[in-house]
Amino acid sequence: MTTASLEFEKPLVELEKQIEELKRLAGDRQLDVASELAPLEKKLIELRDEIYRNLSPWQRVLVARSNKRPFTLDYLRLAFTDFVELHGDRLYREDPAIVGGWARLDGDSVMVIGHQRGRDTKEIVRRNFGMPHPEGYRKALRLMKLAEKFHVPVLTFIDTMGAWAGLGAEERGQSEAIAHNLFEMSRLKVPILATVIGEGGSGGALGLGVADRVMMLENSVYSVISVEGCAAILWKDGKSPEMREKAASALKITAADLYELRVIDEIVPEPPGGAHADYETVAASLKEALVRHLDELSRLKPDKLVRRRREKFLRMGQYLE
Amino acid sequence: MAWFRKEKKPRQPRREKLEIPADVWEKCEACGHTDIREKFVRNLNVCPSCDHHRRIRAGEYAAILLDDGTIEELEESLRSTDPLGFPEYPARLKKAAKNAGDADALLAVGGMMDGAPVNLGVMDFAFMGGSMGSVVGEKIARLGQRSLERKYPLIIVSASGGARMQEGVLSLMQMAKVSAMLAQLAERRIPYVSILTNPTTGGVSASYAMLGDAIIAEPGAVIGFAGPRVIKQTLGQDLPEGFQTSEFLLDHGMLDTVVHRKELKKTVSQLLRHMSGKPAAAGWTST
């Protein structure tokens, strides 16, 4: 798979081209190029590793947002079986920016709910960039309640720039929908695991994010405000790369930052070159982490589970006294 | 021909001229009505002409809602810190404290409302736009805990642009923190009343502001998830008249009622008595 699409991945593209070219030549002329190919491929791996080890926070935002990355439905395909999608909030409409339904993880039934973005233009528009309306959050809550009814854990995947800011979303109570999810998720009597797989944008992310364990993929980000929004408010410049870089660093939005702030419990490693370089590997890592956490959480009685979840969130924040 | 010639006398004012110094005048931001400050104050800082509810400080709000002489500040020692090392945040905090006091963006008090004990949190827009950081979240959580222990109702008056970005994702988590506390109050059947004032947007509206057993707004307040500016940007066009006002939200089923500041204490008090099985306070008619 050609993985490069981002500015800082340009050197990789060059190298990949060279390798392809060499292979093509070799094929055409039946030459043995293994001795030339090996160092190039080794260099590619090293370079990719190097680039990804040194991503700046803003570059990580770009990676997290890339539509080459695996989305919720990709993980459903790769790490789960027996998926049956459920639609609609039973109140107003179906919101394709959030998908959800029954699935099996290692043979056990779970409820999977996640933001869903689109890859091509038509799908991007249909999924509204993965930015849900209130109906998306209400559907999510409906499915969580359904899972609770049948004693099945809830797994959420967070991948949104934020909840949609528009007329209809406001008219139908975007705030109420998100608030209600926070409230109900803090008392749901089944295990909840949340994983940020791409961008975790503000309240629209948290609306699926109140969980017993919160994880982030290595190159995902999680923030209270978009980097551009922060730069625009503070420095009246949301567009220049310098200000974006400054805001992205200041906001502390990378997985490592959040782990240090004790907001998340685990960082799920991505393969060299990021999740988009190797879907199978990242899906396997994710699956391993999900199974492990579920195994631990399933030993807790519902009351204890809820109490611990509440305590976890009640501890959050830093202040002086 | 002097009989029709008017005698020139200096005009005498009929009354003594009122000597009013310039600084006692107040002008309504909404309609331009000018009146002496005393009149605004007596009207709880609502414009006597157009009913525009002016923004007031948290302490003034507490005085409107609670009985005289019963107000006691709680958790006053909590201070914001700078967990991210965010550019200019310590300086901004210092400035905000100088201008708006040490209570941060939420004043937590205990007191009596028509003789019944309550816990009250009032957001203060004067402190960094009422932004919600760790201190705001912790104060509400502690007020909630106090309500749990004493079975006192909780009231929160919101006035906020949303989460405080200088505390990054920790601010975001305050939404979950406070919601988790409110869920505990709900399970123990302790009433929680949410009062929305101008403005209530962002992370505050998408958490505790919208979770009240009763949600009451002041007239004309801007209430919404995204601020009007952001929506205008997404749409690329102007917003309809009255969009995201209290009255708009009432029409769309998002609020229980919109109440004039003068009626607020009585309304909240009535609601709390309904919800906690207490008889009506003395002196109220049944109308």
Query: Would you state the torsion angle of the CA atoms of residues B126, B132, B138, B139, taken in this order, to the nearest 10 degrees?
Result: 30
CA-based nearest residue in chain A for residue B182: A183
Interfacial A residues in 185-204 facing B (CB < 8 Å) = 185-187, 202-203
DSSP string, chain B: -GGGSPP--PPPPSSPPP---GGGEEE-TTT--EEEHHHHHHTTTB-TTT--B----HHHHHHHHS-TT--EE-STT-EE--TT--TTHHHHHHHHHHHH-TTTTEEEEEEEETTEEEEEEEE-TTTGGG-B-HHHHHHHHHHHHHHHHHT--EEEEEEESSB-GGGHHHHHHHHHHHHHHHHHHHHTT--EEEEEEEEEEHHHHTTGGG--SEEEE-TT-BEESS-HHHHHHHHTSPPPTTTTBHHHHHHTT--SEE--HHHHHHHHHHHHHHHTTPPPPTT----
> Given an 8 Å threshold on Cβ–Cβ distance, is A166 in contact with B87?
no
Give the confidence band of B144 by pLDDT, cuts at 50, 70, 90.
very high
- Domain limits of chain B? 23-54, 55-278
- CATH fold for the domain made of B55-278: 2-enoyl-CoA Hydratase; Chain A, domain 1 (3.90.226)
The answer to whether the pTM exceeds 0.90 is yes
> Given an 8 Å threshold on Cβ–Cβ distance, is B180 in contact with A309?
yes
Predicted pLDDT of residue A18: 87
Q: What is the mean pLDDT of residues A295-308?
A: 97
State the Cα–Cα distance between residues A243 and A260, nearest whole angstrom: 24
Helix residue spans in chain A (DSSP H): 10-29, 34-53, 57-65, 72-79, 121-126, 134-149, 167-171, 174-185, 202-206, 227-235, 241-251, 255-260, 279-297, 302-314
**Mode of pairing for the β-strands spanning B192-201 and B154-160:** parallel
Residues A186-222 as b/e (b if ≥16 CB within 10 A, e otherwise) read bbbebbbbbbbbbbbbbbbbbbbbbbbbbbbbbbbbb
Output the six-digit token pair for B82. 């700078």
**B chain contacts of residue A128, beta-carbon cutoff 8 Å:** none
Tell the residue number behind the tokens 């006597």, with chain if given.
B48
> Given an 8 Å threshold on Cβ–Cβ distance, is A178 in contact with B81?
no
CA-based nearest residue in chain A for residue B185: A183
> Given an 8 Å threshold on Cβ–Cβ distance, is A165 in contact with B230?
yes
Interfacial A residues in 154-173 facing B (CB < 8 Å) = 163-167, 169-173
Give B59→chain A minimum CA distance, Å. 21
Interface probe for B, chosen from A92, A180, A202 (most Cβ of B below 10 Å), is A202
CA-based nearest residue in chain B for residue A186: B180
Predicted pLDDT of residue A154: 98
Q: From the list B169, B187, B207, which residue is nearest A182 (CB)?
A: B207
CA-based nearest residue in chain A for residue B178: A314
Question: Within 13 A of A300's CA, how many CA atoms are on the CB side?
Answer: 19
Give the confidence band of B7 by pLDDT, cuts at 50, 70, 90.
confident
Q: CB within 8 A of B194, min separation 6: which ones?
A: B155, B156, B158, B208, B209, B210, B211, B212, B214, B215, B216
What sign has the CA pseudo-torsion A233, A238, A241, A247? Answer: positive
> Given an 8 Å threshold on Cβ–Cβ distance, is A320 in contact with B240?
no
- Domain limits of chain A? 7-54, 61-314
Predicted pLDDT of residue B207: 98
Predicted pLDDT of residue A3: 45
Task: Give the residue among B169, B246, B254 at the shortest CA–CA distance from A174.
Answer: B254
Give B171→chain A minimum CA distance, Å. 7
User: CB–CB of A135/A120 below 8 Å?
Assistant: no
Question: Which of A164-168, A300-304, B11-15, B238-242 is the least confident region?
Answer: B11-15
> Given an 8 Å threshold on Cβ–Cβ distance, is A210 in contact with B206?
no
B114: pLDDT strictly greater than 90: yes
Predicted ipTM > 0.90 = yes
A&B contacts, CB < 8 Å: 187
Interface probe for A, chosen from B86, B179, B215 (most Cβ of A below 10 Å), is B179
Q: List pLDDT tens digits, range A108-138.
A: 999 999 999 999 999 999 999 999 999 999 9
Q: What is the mean pLDDT of residues A240-255?
A: 95
Give A225→chain B minimum CA distance, Å. 7
CA-based nearest residue in chain A for residue B225: A175
Output the six-digit token pair for B163. 């989460």
Interface probe for A, chosen from B93, B160, B167, B172 (most Cβ of A below 10 Å), is B172
State the Cα–Cα distance between residues A269 and A284, nearest whole angstrom: 10
A171: pLDDT strictly greater than 90: yes
Interfacial A residues in 11-70 facing B (CB < 8 Å) = none
Q: Does A184 touch chain B (CB under 8 A)?
A: yes
Tell the residue number behind the tokens 């949600």, with chain if given.
B215
DSSP string, A126-182: HTGGG---HHHHHHHHHHHHHHHHTT--EEEEEEES-S--SHHHHHTTHHHHHHHHH
B44: pLDDT strictly greater than 80: yes
Give the confidence band of A158 by pLDDT, cuts at 50, 70, 90.
very high
**A chain contacts of residue B133, beta-carbon cutoff 8 Å:** 317
Give the confidence band of A280 by pLDDT, cuts at 50, 70, 90.
very high
> Given an 8 Å threshold on Cβ–Cβ distance, is B179 in contact with A183?
yes
Q: At what angle do helices A34-53 and A10-29 cross, to 10 degrees?
A: 170
CA-based nearest residue in chain A for residue B183: A183
Q: List pLDDT tens digits, range B149-208.
A: 999 999 999 999 999 999 999 999 999 999 999 999 999 999 999 999 999 999 999 999
**A chain contacts of residue B180, beta-carbon cutoff 8 Å:** 182, 186-187, 210, 309-310, 313-314
User: CB–CB of A165/A277 below 8 Å?
Assistant: no
Interface probe for B, chosen from A196, A319, A320, A321 (most Cβ of B below 10 Å), is A319
Output the six-digit token pair for A223. 């923030």
Total count of residues recorded for chain A: 321
Q: How many CB atoms lie within 10 A of CB A48?
A: 22
A248: pLDDT strictly greater than 70: yes
**B chain contacts of residue A175, beta-carbon cutoff 8 Å:** 205-206, 209-210, 223-225, 254
Give the confidence band of A230 by pLDDT, cuts at 50, 70, 90.
very high
**CATH class held by domain A61-314:** alpha beta
Residues A136-159 as b/e (b if ≥16 CB within 10 A, e otherwise) read bbbbbbbbbebbbeeebbbbbbbb
